[in-house]
Structure 1
Amino acid sequence: MRKTVSALLMSTLAVSACGTKANPFNWFGGSRSAAAPVSVESGDVNPLIPTRTGVFNSDEEEIAYYGQLLDTVSTLVVERVPGGAIIRVTGVPARQGVYAVNLTPVNSDNTPVEGVLTFRLEGLQGPSAGAGSPASREVAVALKLSNQALEGTRTIRVEAAQNALQARR
C-alpha cells in the first residue's frame, strides 16, 4: 500500500513538473495579451465600463415581449404582504416547452379600469414539443404590486385563451 501511494505521488509530481499536454495545468495554455476593441463612437470610452448602470436609471428602453396567450388559468392567489400584494398564478399551456411566463397588464400603466386590474397570462413557446399531461405542462408566475398600484383596485383578473379567473377584495 505504501509503495502504491508513493509511486502515485511521485508520478503526479513528475507530470505536474513537465510541460506536456498530460499536465492539467497546461490544458488551456497561458494567457496572451490582445488589443482592446476600440470604440467607433469616441476614443475615450472605456469598453469595460457599461454605458447604462444603476438601479434607478430612467434612460432604459423597454424590451419587447412576444409572449403568446396560454391555454387556461388554473389558480389565482392574491397574498397580502407589507407594502402591497403578490399575485401567484398557475396556468396550463396547450403544449410543452413554454418558458418566460409573464403577467402582461392589459390596462395601460397598471391602472384599474372601473376597479378591475386585468392581466394576460402569456409565455414564450420553445421548440415544438408534444402535448404531454396537464401536470407536466403546468407553469407558474408571480407578480408583486405595490399599494400605490393597488389603489382603486377592487378586482384582479387574469385572462387566458379559454378562461379567466378573478379575485376580489
Structure 2
Amino acid sequence: MRKPLLAALALVMFVSACGAVRESRLNPFNWFQRSETVAVDPVTQKPEDPRPLAQQIIDLKVEPAPGGAIIRATALPPTQGWWDAELVKRGDDQNGARIYDFRMSAPKTQAGVSTPRSRQITAAVFLTTRQLQEITSITVQAATNGMTSRR
C-alpha cells in the first residue's frame, strides 16, 4: 500500500514541476507570439522577382519544427488561379527583423472570384535554429497589408 502511494506522490510532484518549462524560452512553442497586422513597408528598390505581391495576408504562423521553425503565411488573392506562391526574403535582416514578400504568379487565363476560402493560397519557408537565434521579429508583406510575429 505504501509503495503505490509513494509512487503516485512522486509522479504528481514530477509532473507539477513541468509547469515552469511551459513559460520558459526553452520551450519551442514560446519562440514567437501570435501574429499581428502591420502597415505596409513600401519597396524602395525594384525587386528582382517579377511576380506581383499578394493582395492581402490573412494569416501568419511560426511553427516549431525539428532543427528550426516553419514560417507559414496565407494570402487572399483577388481571383482564383494564382499559383507559384513563395515567401521571398527582402534584403538583409535589420536589428533582428526579417522581412519576406509574399509573391505569386497571376493566372494564365481569366479566373472567377468565388468564395474567399477557395482563393486562399499558402506559402512557407524553413528557418534553422541558427538563423532564428538572430531574429526577433518576422514580417510578411503583401500589397495592402503585412503581418508580424515577434518573440
Q: What TM-score bracket applies, with the shorter chain setting the length?
A: 0.5 to 0.7
CA distance in 1, matches of 2:110, 2:127: 34
- Match of 2:55, as an amino acid? D
Pair 1:113-2:91 in alignment? no
Runs of 4+ in 1 over 4 A off after TM superposition: none
Pair 1:133-2:132 in alignment? no
CA distance in 2, matches of 1:107, 1:153: 14
SS in 2 for 1:80: strand
Pair 1:88-2:72 in alignment? yes
Identity of aligned residues (%): 31
What CA RMSD, in Å, does the superposition of the two structures yield over aligned residues?
Answer: 1.4
CA distance in 2, matches of 1:89, 1:74: 8
Computing the radius of gyration from Cα coordinates, the structure with the larger value is 1
Structure 2 equivalent of residue 122 of structure 1: 103
Q: Mind listing any 5+ residue stretches in structure 1 that lack a counterpart?
A: 1-63
| TM-score normalised by length of structure 2 | 0.63
Q: Which has the higher contact order (CA 8 A, sep 6+)?
A: 2
Pair 1:102-2:83 in alignment? no
| TM-score normalised by length of structure 1 | 0.57
- Match of 1:101, as an amino acid? A
Q: Count how many residue pairs are aligned between Structure 1 and Structure 2.
A: 103
Q: Mind listing any 5+ residue stretches in structure 2 that lack a counterpart?
A: 1-47
CA drift at 1:163: 0.8
CA distance in 1, matches of 2:72, 2:105: 18
CA distance in 2, matches of 1:107, 1:143: 16
CA drift at 1:82: 2.2
